[in-house]
Amino acid sequence: MTTRRTFLTLSGAAALTACGGVPTTSTPSRSSAVPSDLRPIPNAGYDAWVRAFRPRASSAGISDATLNAAFRTAGFIPGVVTRDRSQPETKYSLEDYLSIAASDERIAKGRAALARHRGTLNALENRYGVPAEITCAIWGLESQYGERRGDINVISSTSTLAFDGRRGAFFEKQLIAALRILQSGDTTPNNLVGSWAGAMGHTQFIPTSYQSLAVDFNGDGRRDIWSDDPTDALASTANYLRRNGWSASTKWGGETGQPGTPSGSIITPQAGGPSFTVTSNFRAIKSYNNSDLYAIGIGHLADRLAGGGPIRGSFPPDRYGLTKAQRITLQEKLTARGYDTGGTSGVIGPKSRAAISAYQQASGMSVTGDPSAELLARL
């Protein structure tokens, strides 16, 4: 079985996912226009590849009718290849990661989503043993609670990457699985959309994982993870975790030494920062995304959705000698002077660096784009 863990490792994905609204790689929301480089364009080589692929698809049990319907509106997407070949490897500290993964906005939206879908999430907890807050937290990180599910035609994206060849065999398997989704009637070619790499729906399943683990929880005869109703997507996620070892009798873990933290292994993801005691359920979360930061982010966000408080331990200054509070102050001061930092979370991302560079240039300073105590004092 190809799992999301395999997919994310193969993709070189950063710990924070694209559809979750992280500034490293972005997937357009369903309400936004698809960028021009993510729309199909004519490509003779791709067309020849599709003709050669059709007999292989037929041998895999895909009907001519399914192939014709799937490729009627599909095509080569140049931006998919560009993104696949130039994925940035963003290195987040745990402090920065949690600032994004468990931001005030994500917590507030998550609590609202939890209340809105409490009946469904409780039913899933009863069926699969996965707490409602854990399932909801994955939903929040993967697609901002359904706001960013992706708009790219999955047949186009997977066939483009299969044709490109860098990971051709892997993406041809995803393409075959996507065609089987259409052939089974779970959705239509127009609705089979996802991220640029083919991850789909509210909780970003890849086609092969969908084939193995998606479920029809609402009983309408389709495993529909794409619709505005998130029921099947949330159920599929809970089923995924259960099938990957989730135990209903224990917690994921927690900050070491705090009340309610279960026994388990101790990890310290950020030198000088707080430690966490983690259980087998922590490893189940990592099957969804093979990253300690991701699993802690999910667990901590779930705890916050359940009414828990922030991390109690302190984090050390960053490599520039600044604390999170100082970085927030720096962003606030730049924003007050008209420089767009992209927010005041304390995470120094591309927009903050651009704002710093612009201020440094306007002020006659050496342009580095780096935060510093000197810059903060000047501001």
Q: Per DSSP, what are the bridge partners of residue 339?
A: none
Q: What mean pLDDT do residues 146-160 have? A: 97
Q: What mean pLDDT do residues 276-292 have? A: 97
User: According to the model, what pLDDT value does residue 3 have?
Assistant: 61
- Lowest-confidence region among 3-7, 166-170, 207-211, 368-372: 3-7
- Closest by Cα among 188, 203, 208, 198 to 161: 198
Specify the CATH architecture of the domain 4-91+132-240.
Orthogonal Bundle (1.10)
**Can you give the pTM of this predicted structure?**
0.91
Q: What mean pLDDT do residues 179-187 have? A: 97
User: According to the model, what pLDDT value does residue 24 have?
Assistant: 31
User: According to the model, what pLDDT value does residue 365 have?
Assistant: 95
User: According to the model, what pLDDT value does residue 300 have?
Assistant: 98
Q: Per DSSP, what are the bridge partners of residue 278?
A: 253, 265
- Give 290-344 pLDDT, tens digit per residue: 999 999 999 999 999 999 999 999 999 999 999 999 999 999 999 999 999 999 9
- The answer, yes or no, to whether residue 274 has pLDDT greater than 90, is yes
Range(s) for CATH 1.10.8.350 in the chain? 4-91+132-240
Work out the pLDDT band at 87, boundaries 50, 70, 90.
confident
